[in-house]
Amino acid sequence: MRLLGSLLLLLAAGAQAAVTVRDDAGHSITLARPAQRVISMSPHITELLFAAGGGARVVGAMNFSDYPEAARKIPLIGSNANIDMERVLALKPDLLVVWQSGNTARQLEQLASLGIPIFYSEPKKLDEVATSLTRLGQLLGTETQANAAAQAFRSRIGQLRATYAQRAPVKVFYQIWDKPLYTLSGQHIISDAISACGGVNVFAGLNVVAPQVSTEAVLQQNPEVIFGGDQHDPEDKGINIWRGYKSLLAVQRANLFSLGGERLTRATPRMAEGMAELCEKIDLARQRRK
């Protein structure tokens, strides 16, 4: 009887170890036990895995996986242009976490053919950062840390939304590149952050996630605020391309703002920091109406 009881306990423990979650592509992922060797296919995924408590289990990562500092020491398996499939196999992962928009269709097909469980990560709304943390925590068996990180993120975003979302709306143009001119539509998570700050993304209605737009289209929308990222190249004029357009409200009111770092462009808990700066700048634009 004692032996039978021990066997039943072992079977129960094994049953509890299996976990099933749904990823951002709508696929159900089942692991017999928590993942021990994970490969991250995007910088934002690497951050999410660390925040969910699984940093020590990330055995391979995509280039530009530079946060937190420990991520810089992870062996690289390639870039969004080329993945070293032999390197991936050599690392013997039991879970791949991929970025559907950032990895090419060819790469995704190659990865799927390896027969390794794949979790697709594509947060499009702020709350999906939190649910990403909790789901990855389930796959990693690190629910306590993942749930705490998710709760902290939701709390901070909730505070910002409560403070700014109902204030007077401000028309916003978010520029991600100037040659050619690219922006983000309402399908991107940054658009959700703009809305939570009481801003209105002037190109939210476009069907492409990162659409190319014309200078004339921006002038026609006449945004009150224009945001851009860091200038990594002296040849990159960034948001300065608009300074000559004196008819733009954003220029007239000195509302051309650079948002530094990757805090807002990566769908990770650091978005709360980037969003705080975003909300402050949008609120500054409201004050400059007077």
What domains, with CATH codes, occur in the chain?
19-154 (3.40.50.1980), 167-287 (3.40.50.1980)
Q: How confident is the model at residue 13 (pLDDT cuts 50, 70, 90)?
A: very low
| Beta strand extents in 81-224 (DSSP E only) | 95-98, 118-120, 170-178, 181-183, 199-201
Could you please report the per-residue DSSP string of 212-269?
A: B--HHHHHHH--SEEEE----STT--GGGGGTT-TTSHHHHTT-EEE--SSTTTS-ST
Tokens read off for 41 = 């296919």
Question: Is residue 181 packed enough to be buried (19+ CB in 10 Å), middle (13-18) or exposed (0-12)?
Answer: middle
150-184 residue pLDDT tens: 999 999 999 999 999 999 999 999 999 998 999 99
- Residue 234 above 90 pLDDT? no
Q: How far apart are CA 204 and CA 217, in angstroms?
A: 13
Q: What is the pTM of this model?
A: 0.90
- Lowest-pLDDT range, 84-93, 105-114, 177-186? 105-114
- Residue 3 above 60 pLDDT? no
Q: CA nearest 269: which of 49, 26, 9, 75? A: 49
